Structure 1
Amino acid sequence: MNLPLITDKTFNNIDYTINNLSKGEYDNCTFSNCNFSNTFLSGISFLECEFTDCNFSSVKLGETTFKDIIFKDCKLVGTPFNECNTFLLAMTFNNCQLNLASFYNLKLNNTKFNNCKLEHTDFTNSNLKQSTFLKCDLNNAVFDNTNLEKTDFRTAYNYSISPSNNKIKGAKFSKNEIFGLLKDYNIIIE
């Protein structure tokens, strides 16, 4: 099934909970202050799009394509990115709320998370090799069997990452947050 191609359009202040976003392939489009919460975006393709001040909380993403996407100042609480089409999946997150989001089993090499809240976010079985968590709150984020090789956590905080359950070779951490790597060992640091 060929979807209609929508290119170089700007969508402002649209509540897609009232009127669904039309199925299509959105290329180089900008969405600003749009509400997608609890909507179905299944099968829609977004290519080189930017979302600013949008609400994606509890959205349904079955086979949604996100290729070279920028999310800026967006609310993505409970967003199941693990349901996305994984082919060419690439996203950047700036100043976003990603609490309770799921990146389970995704290949997210070189993904940039800048100043994001990622509390209770699931990264189980994900590949985050060479990604960056710049000034991110990772309180209760789940890293289990996650590839974190060469990932930058130097300015991230509140993380708990088990070196025995994750690949962390070459990952960068700050001295101030080093206890986040040692919680599993029940040791006392003074």
Structure 2
Amino acid sequence: MNKSFFEDKTYKDQDFKKVRLEKAEYENCIFEGCDFADSYLDNINFTTCQFKHCNLSNANISHSVFNEVSFSFCKLTGIHFELCNPILLSLSFDHCSLILASFYQLKLKNIVFTKCKLIEADFTEANLSNARFDECDLNKVIFKNTNLEQADLSTAINYKFEPEQNRLRKAKFSKDGVVGLLGKYDIVVI
């Protein structure tokens, strides 16, 4: 069965909790002000699409393709990106809420998060080399066996994790932020 194909289409202020988004291929489409909370977005292909001011909290994205997809001012609470198709995965986030989001074992080299709340997000075993966390809140974020080589966390806040459990070669941190890497040593930095 061939999937439908939609190109250069804009979806505005639609509630996809009630009417499911068609399983199809979407290319260069814009989703603005749409509600996908708790909905099924599985087995859908998104290429060069933009999500603006959308709620995708707890959406099922199993086996979906996200190739050059941007999210801005979106709520993505509890979304499990590790369930999507990892081939061609390319994402960016601007002013998004990614509380409890999971990126377990994903290859996210060069990913950019700008002014996002990533509270309790899980990056266990992810490749975040060359990633940027510009002015992001990383409170209780899980970095374990994560590749953060050359990642830029210099403007990120509230992170605490164990350097020994991650790859940090040439990663950038602010002087204030380094305290989050030393927390387990119970030392006082003045």
Q: Same fold (TM over 0.5)?
A: yes
Q: Output the CA distance in 2 between the equivalents of 1:96 and 1:17.
A: 20
Deviations 1:18-59 (A, max 9, x none): 100011000000000000000111100100000000000011
Unaligned runs of 5+ in 2: none
How far is 1:65 from its partner? 0.7
Structure 1 residue 188 displacement after superposition: 2.2
Within the alignment, does 1:102 sit opposite 2:102 as a pair? yes
Same amino acid, percent of matched pairs: 44
- Is residue 85 from structure 1 mapped to residue 97 from structure 2 by the alignment? no
Determine the structure 2 residue equivalent to 1:62.
62
2:75 is equivalent to residue 75 of structure 1: yes
Equivalent residue letter for 1:68: E
The residue aligned with 1:168 is 168
Instruction: Please give the secondary structure, in 2, of the residue aligned with 1:51.
Output: strand
Structure 1: how far apart are the matches of 2:184 and 2:124?
17
Give the Cα separation in 2 of the matches to 1:24 and 1:81.
Answer: 19
* Cα deviation, residue 182, structure 1: 0.7
Instruction: Give 2:85's aligned amino acid.
Output: N
Aligned residue for 1:175, secondary structure, equals coil
CA distance in 1 between counterparts of 2:162 and 2:2 reads 45
Question: How many residues in Structure 1 have an aligned counterpart in Structure 2?
Answer: 190
Distance 1:159 1:81 in 2: 21
TM-score normalised by the chain length of structure 1:
0.98
Q: Secondary structure at the match of 1:161?
A: coil
Q: Write the distance in 1 (CA, Å) between the matches of 2:56 and 2:134.
A: 22
SS of residue paired to 2:178: helix
**TM-score normalised to the size of structure 2?**
0.98
Q: CA RMSD in A?
A: 0.7
In the TM superposition, what is the alpha-carbon distance from 1:131 to its structure 2 partner? 0.5
For structure 1, which runs of at least 5 residues remain unmatched after alignment? none
Give the Cα–Cα distance (whole angstroms) in 1 for the partners of residues 155 and 20 of structure 2: 39
Distance 1:162 1:169 in 2: 14
> Separation in 2 of the partners of 1:114 and 1:162?
23
Question: After the TM superposition, which segments of 4 or more aligned residues of structure 1 sit over 4 Å from their partners?
Answer: none
- 1:84-135 Cα offsets, whole Å, 9 max, x none, are 1000100000000000000011000000000000000000010000000000
Q: What is the distance in 2 between the residues matched to 1:80 and 1:165?
A: 23
